[in-house]
Amino acid sequence: MHLTGLFSYHDAKSKAFDNASPSVATWEGDVLSLLLTTAYSIDEQTGLTMEYLYSRTDNAQENILEGLPLGAENRRHGLLLGLSRQMTDKARARFQYGYYMHDDETKEGVDGYRAHVFFLSLAYKF
């Protein structure tokens, strides 16, 4: 069994040439990402995997009185489970199921989704 993780955080800021107009807001926000993976061998031919991802973006601009409310504030989650089996010395089968969800608060759910994904693959070495 093994466990791998990745964490990333980015605080971003930029200044736009605004020509003394309050309608152009300074862009600032942050992005946070997390990825966790694990794998477990049931026996020499069979293995389980799991992956989880999380991402958050927070750079919504509160500028509706002077200009456009631009930016994004969203959350994304993903879970992927897998089962693989070495069928023969040359053939390997894998089944994976994934569930993903995305919510964007700045667009009131218009771009949000929930998704189920199924993968079935067969690899054969020649």
Question: pLDDT tens digits for the chain (126 residues)?
Answer: 899 999 999 887 777 666 677 667 677 788 899 999 999 999 999 999 999 999 998 877 766 667 666 677 889 999 999 999 999 999 999 999 999 999 887 767 677 899 999 999 999 999
Number of Cβ within 10 Å of residue 84's Cβ equals: 20
**pLDDT value of residue 63:** 67
**Cβ-count burial of 58 within 10 angstroms (0-12 exposed, 13-18 middle, 19+ buried)?**
middle
Structure token pair of residue 115: 């998704």
Q: Where are the domains of the chain?
A: 2-9+25-90+108-124
CA distances from 113 to 31, 70, 73, 76 (A): 20, 21, 15, 9
**pLDDT value of residue 19:** 67
Name the amino acid, one letter, at 16: A
Which residue, chain included where needed, has tokens 């079935």? 120
**Gap between the Cα atoms of 109 and 60, Å rounded:** 14
**pLDDT value of residue 34:** 97
